[in-house]
Structure 1
């Protein structure tokens, strides 16, 4: 039974769309709307809270921009859970998801088959950032 619980926990962790590694002290959670995005460290004093990662898996996104937006939203959500009021984006990249979409292919009676299949690789976006608390 314990082994089943461990396997289930590991499987669910593999499906995570965001995660973090603590590098500082968490604060009380805030709304993701309060998390500001930085591309360089902000002027003034700030504290590091965590390194956060997110991806666009299972997002209702088709275009590259929609996938990027999903990653940024998930980074902000993860930061907000830790009480970070800012994130310093470190990168957002394309990442192969290991799956694909296959189209086509049919066969006719009498053991005659015609392959017209086309495989379209599926990519997702993945990003990371530094969750920070910027002093007011």
Structure 2
């Protein structure tokens, strides 16, 4: 019995750490490539490009720290773009989601068998707020050399 509870808890935590990426197709996908080949453009990419899909994603429910959240959403955008054969992502922005840490306090009283009792409790929720990001997966016809990244404006 305890093993099944442990399994259920593990499954719930694993699902809480996952966040899916949604996409709306704008063009034809190409053959998949490696995510490392996908460049993220914070301004317009050089040269001509073709839009493939609009992407939206969020960091996992168990991702802590702003830099880790940003890295997570950029990585997910790159991975999804790579699946579509896009060699670039036009970064459209990010925002912090709802939720976050909270503290709750509860007090109760009762009577049982002629005796009265009072109890209290404190609950703490330390789940971080997720970061959401949007981007457009694109195929850049004349991309910059591999390993270079355009400057951030």
TM-score (norm 1): 0.74
The structure-2 alpha-carbon separation of the partners of 1:70 and 1:36, relative to structure 1 and needing over 3 Å to count, comes to same
Name segments (4+ residues, structure 1) moved above 2 Å: 99-107, 114-122
Partner secondary structure for residue 46 of structure 2: coil
Q: Cα RMSD between the aligned structures?
A: 2.9
Question: Is 1:31 the counterpart of 2:34 in the alignment?
Answer: yes
Match in the other structure for 2:8: none
Partner secondary structure for residue 29 of structure 1: coil
Q: In 2, Cα distance between the equivalents of 1:56 and 1:87?
A: 17
- Kept in 2: contact 1:106–1:113 (CA 8 A): yes
- Cα displacement (A) at 1:96: 1.5
Match in the other structure for 1:112: 118
Q: In 1, Cα distance between the equivalents of 2:126 and 2:67?
A: 19
Q: Map of 1:1-136 to 2, 5 A cutoff?
A: 16-58=19-61, 61-97=63-99, 111-120=117-126, 122-136=128-142
The structure in which a higher percent of residues are strand is 1
Q: In 2, Cα distance between the equivalents of 1:96 and 1:122?
A: 9
- Cα displacement (A) at 1:43: 2.0
Partner secondary structure for residue 45 of structure 2: coil
**Which blocks of at least 5 consecutive residues in structure 2 are unaligned?**
1-14, 109-114, 143-153
TM-score (norm 2): 0.67
